[in-house]
Structure 1
Amino acid sequence: MTTLKKPSLKKLAVNGAIWTITGYAFSQCLRFGCNIILTRLPGIQPEFFGLMAVVNRLLMGLELFSDLGIGQSIIQNKHGEEEEFFNTAWTLQIIRGCAIWFICLIITYPAVRFYQEPRLLWLLPIMGLVSIILGFASPSQSLLNRRMELGKVIIFDLIVQVVSLSALVILAWQMKSLWAFAISGIISGIVRAIGSHFLIPGKKTKFAWNQDAVKELVSFGKWMFVATALMFLAEQADTLLLGKLLSFGVVGVYTIAATLANVPREAIKSLSFRVIFPTISNQVDLPRSELRSKIIRQRWKIVLGAAVVLAFLVSTGDLIIATLYDQRYTEARWMMPILSCGVWFSILFYTTSPALLALGKPLYAAQSNLLRFLMISLGMPLAFTLKGTLGVIIIIALSDLPLYIANLYGIWREGLFCFLQDVRATALFLGVLILFLSIRSFLGFGNPFIFIS
């Protein structure tokens, strides 16, 4: 009888990377296609995108401020495959989901007063119901990430996205109101929650409460809570503050520009969590010098590709927006290249930060996100006073720099320093960017860095 050979870690990582990048490309095509359709539907105004951006950021904040690192614990913990640990994690997840909705009810009225927007009075509680629904979703997706069986995860995510976006377009076409966004969010949560229980055949969930498992989950989760709470403040404070400083119409335009500018960042971030983190988690027992060598060798390939893609996006992003969107979104054209340039520092960050998490050191991520949050929260109001919308966009673009610097300190402390590689990669990025800008100028398309505010 022959025994099937288990795939090597390298093969799993390569397959995982292919699935992640391919899935992300399809996901972005669906997302941008949906956005373009929505911007052309009668009755759907730019302020809808701005208002929903603020609502989603508030709900994301509740999610992250209550994050126990349940998914990461299943991936990282040696007991992640055990039924008792798995079911205890699921039980904690349900409790957390209900708690999030309750907190959502509490913050609704203060949010209405802060933004002077009465529609939040019904939008937040309804959208908050998704937290309860997703609390009952099976953690099987995290288990598949642990095993690096990413094909199932990617296909499942795409199916949920197709259903969700289809529902949104149909409802927006028929209802021409914010209710379309709220109802489609509920539909998306229901489809994801039910579908997750079929990801692993035979894998059943049931209520469980193992004290040892709870201790391990909470032990890892206490720093994950701090790290993810600060990550929310660092990554979403821009939109929340913009909602106060500017009109929801301008926030909607910014959301269009930021969504396109962040494509490389989100791709690398997805690769970071789904491939880099599990891969390094399986190699943490190696001597640091050997682990560092493996990380640097594989990281260089990722950073090279990202440099070319980002340089292309910086030099053509304004043209893409001009082609895809109507005159109501004109201001997104000048925002786009500025925001794209700032993404470079997050690419350097997300290709090393998973190593620190795999080593069980989420504190470094907390420190990194704290610095970014301070720059956003202190810099944006000051920049708005001095330079208006342009100043705010520049601060947002530069906000990933402190994130990167703090992370650099962490990888130095842990013996994984790779600053020289960052210098070479940055020089390459700038060289490719200059080349693309020269070609653009030669073809008569001018300079994308025209500040119209």
Structure 2
Amino acid sequence: MSETPIEGAGIWSRAARGSAWTAMSFVAAQGFRLISNLILTRLLFPEAFGIMALVTVMLVGLTLFSDMGTGPAIMQSKRGDDPEFLNTAWTIQILRGGVLWLMACAVAYPAALFYDQPLIAMLLPVAAMSLLFAGFEPTRVDTANRHLLLGRLTVLDLISTLLGIVVMLVLAYVFRSVWALAVGGVITAAIRLALLSSFLPGASNRLRWEGPAVHELLHFGFWIFLSSVCGFLVSQGDRAILGKFLTIEGLGIYNIGAFLAMFPIMLGSTVTARILIPIYREHGVDTDVAALARLRRLRYYLTGGLLACLAFLALAGPFIVQTLYDDRYLAAGGVMVAICAVQMIVVVFLTYDQAALARGDSRGFFLVSAAKASLMAVGFLVGAVNMGLFGAMVGQALAMLLYMPVIARLAARHKVWDARHDVLFLVLALCLGALAVWVNWADVALLIPGSGGGFHGGRIE
């Protein structure tokens, strides 16, 4: 009896199962978060989401500015199953978590002064305790990702997410304060650590400091660290910039719209990060014609699916916001449309940079990350200063078009570039994005300064 793709033990079978598990987990987790978000908007005020958005920006910034890439290193290294290597990576991870918490305490007060939000000085050290718990997570997580054995890991992730959300909602109901979001995040991290340590199969970690392992991890991680700095600008640069220019209420409204709009790109990034490195590592797609054909089909399915999802959210964004949220958040509909239009361009080039990581080319990964971050940050800032949030979105769209030859060159060097795919989906992305903006222009226009859309304050207005 022949083996079906979903039942097999080969890399493509595990990739199919891993993709399914990852997508299911992500959709379910985001569904839980959406429901909790809807409840929280009834219990808390927009200002709470604005303040927590700034705290999250700083937590993500600290995390990415210190990322040594232990996860990708374990996934691509020849020693990725060696206990000495894994235990050394775990030790580095613990030290990093402690340093991150101390750094959060150190920057809390200056950040509160910079954003003129005194509560940040108290919130940030508490919220940063989640980084301590994350540092102790076992490397069995990375081993499961390395071998695409994601079933149990997915279930544990979902359970921890659901339990954390329940705790956060209870705290919000009792205290009606932004503290519910900060403390809830810490409790979620503690629950996740307990579940992973107790129920994920494999040997337990212990403290270890092996010289060759340290050298390999730090050598690979140096470029990952620089890439993560760039990743911060890509993923959190908008909030970091807007936190200075918008009112805290306007930032809260923007954060709601961004939460809804970023779902597809976050799903795509999660799937590609977990699936493509093992595929590139175990299959020579640059020499195996059949493997390359499968990879191309996978890329078409992924890009097409994400583009369809983004197009739906862009076209229906204002209706979704009007249906789910009260009148305080209506301007978030225009945010959804604009962000989705930009992300349609982003998904076209989503799968290429993982080829560099799989081949150990962390330097090449950094170079394309730096180009993307620089272009998007400059485009966002210049556009925002001259034409508000609408200009910021236009600036980011232009930045992604300029980024296209950079990522194409990296993909060509690693023999995974598909020009037909890029041209086809780029044209489709531009047409769908323009259509969504045209259909919802009344809502998108609220992002322009002076429109009365709630995005006021500072120099943007």
TM-score exceeds 0.5: yes
Matched residue, 1:116: 116
Q: Displacement, 1:85?
A: 1.0
1:313 partner SS = helix
Whether the aligned pair in 2 keeps the contact of 1:90 and 1:207 (CA below 8 Å) is yes
User: Where does structure 1 lack aligned partners over 5 or more consecutive residues?
Assistant: none
Q: Distance in 1 between matches of 2:426 and 2:228?
A: 28
Matched residue, 1:382: 382
Q: Distance in 2 between matches of 1:23 and 1:96?
A: 27
Q: Which digits, 9 at most, give the CA deviation of each residue in 1:47-87, with x for residues without a partner?
A: 11111111111111111111111111111111111111111
Matched residue, 1:241: 241
> Is residue 2:206 matched to residue 1:212?
no
Q: Which digits, 9 at most, give the CA deviation of each residue in 1:118-155, with x for residues without a partner?
A: 11111111111221122112121111011101111211
2:177 partner SS = coil
For 2:20, give the aligned amino acid: I
Q: Displacement, 1:437?
A: 9.4
> Is residue 2:331 matched to residue 1:337?
no
Matched residue, 1:317: 317
Q: Distance in 1 between matches of 2:435 and 2:111?
A: 46
Matched residue, 2:264: 264
Q: For residues 239 and 409 of structure 1, do their structure 2 counterparts lie closer, same or farther at Cα, with a shift above 3 Å needed?
A: same
2:141 partner SS = helix
Matched residue, 1:88: 88
1:350 partner SS = coil
Instruction: Please show how residues 120-131 of structure 1 align to structure 2 within 5 Å.
Output: 120-131=120-131
Matched residue, 2:135: 135
Matched residue, 1:164: 164
Q: Displacement, 1:291?
A: 5.7
| TM-score, structure 1 as length reference | 0.91
For 1:17, give the aligned amino acid: S
Q: Distance in 1 between matches of 2:309 and 2:153?
A: 25
> Is residue 2:62 matched to residue 1:33?
no
Q: Distance in 2 between matches of 1:388 and 1:187?
A: 37
Q: Distance in 2 between matches of 1:355 and 1:49?
A: 37
Q: For residues 47 and 404 of structure 1, do their structure 2 counterparts lie closer, same or farther at Cα, with a shift above 3 Å needed?
A: farther
Whether the aligned pair in 2 keeps the contact of 1:165 and 1:184 (CA below 8 Å) is yes
Q: For residues 183 and 11 of structure 1, do their structure 2 counterparts lie closer, same or farther at Cα, with a shift above 3 Å needed?
A: same
Q: For residues 59 and 209 of structure 1, do their structure 2 counterparts lie closer, same or farther at Cα, with a shift above 3 Å needed?
A: same
Instruction: Please show how residues 395-414 of structure 1 align to structure 2 within 5 Å.
Output: 395-414=395-414
Q: Displacement, 1:197?
A: 1.2
Whether the aligned pair in 1 keeps the contact of 2:342 and 2:433 (CA below 8 Å) is no
Q: Displacement, 1:436?
A: 8.6
Q: For residues 387 and 220 of structure 1, do their structure 2 counterparts lie closer, same or farther at Cα, with a shift above 3 Å needed?
A: same
Matched residue, 2:445: 451
Q: Distance in 2 between matches of 1:106 and 1:314?
A: 40
Q: For residues 333 and 60 of structure 1, do their structure 2 counterparts lie closer, same or farther at Cα, with a shift above 3 Å needed?
A: same
1:121 partner SS = helix
Q: For residues 302 and 379 of structure 1, do their structure 2 counterparts lie closer, same or farther at Cα, with a shift above 3 Å needed?
A: closer
Greater CA drift, 16-25 or 393-402: 393-402
| TM-score, structure 2 as length reference | 0.89
Q: For residues 11 and 403 of structure 1, do their structure 2 counterparts lie closer, same or farther at Cα, with a shift above 3 Å needed?
A: same
Matched residue, 2:19: 17
Aligned pair count reads 441
For 2:169, give the aligned amino acid: V
Greater CA drift, 188-197 or 93-102: 188-197
Q: Distance in 2 between matches of 1:180 and 1:326?
A: 21
Q: Which digits, 9 at most, give the CA deviation of each residue in 1:352-379, with x for residues without a partner?
A: 2211211212223322332333334434
Q: For residues 201 and 301 of structure 1, do their structure 2 counterparts lie closer, same or farther at Cα, with a shift above 3 Å needed?
A: closer
User: Where does structure 2 lack aligned partners over 5 or more consecutive residues?
Assistant: 1-6, 452-461
Matched residue, 2:4: none
Q: Distance in 2 between matches of 1:366 and 1:436?
A: 33
Q: Distance in 1 between matches of 2:382 and 2:268?
A: 31
For 1:19, give the aligned amino acid: W
Q: Which digits, 9 at most, give the CA deviation of each residue in 1:227-254, with x for residues without a partner?
A: 1121112221110110001111111111
Q: Which digits, 9 at most, give the CA deviation of each residue in 1:390-416, with x for residues without a partner?
A: 323433455544444421221122332
Pairwise CA RMSD = 2.3
Whether the aligned pair in 2 keeps the contact of 1:365 and 1:407 (CA below 8 Å) is no
1:351 partner SS = coil
For 1:188, give the aligned amino acid: T
Matched residue, 2:78: 78
Greater CA drift, 339-348 or 425-434: 425-434
Q: For residues 19 and 304 of structure 1, do their structure 2 counterparts lie closer, same or farther at Cα, with a shift above 3 Å needed?
A: same
Whether the aligned pair in 1 keeps the contact of 2:368 and 2:407 (CA below 8 Å) is yes
Whether the aligned pair in 2 keeps the contact of 1:311 and 1:432 (CA below 8 Å) is yes
Instruction: Please show how residues 186-335 of structure 1 align to structure 2 within 5 Å.
Output: 186-284=186-284, 287=287, 292-335=292-335
Q: Distance in 2 between matches of 1:339 and 1:162?
A: 27
Matched residue, 2:52: 52
Q: Distance in 1 between matches of 2:272 and 2:278?
A: 9
Q: Distance in 2 between matches of 1:448 and 1:199?
A: 51
Matched residue, 1:151: 151
Q: Displacement, 1:92?
A: 0.7
2:183 partner SS = helix
Q: Which digits, 9 at most, give the CA deviation of each residue in 1:182-233, with x for residues without a partner?
A: 2111111111122221243352111111111111111211111111121112
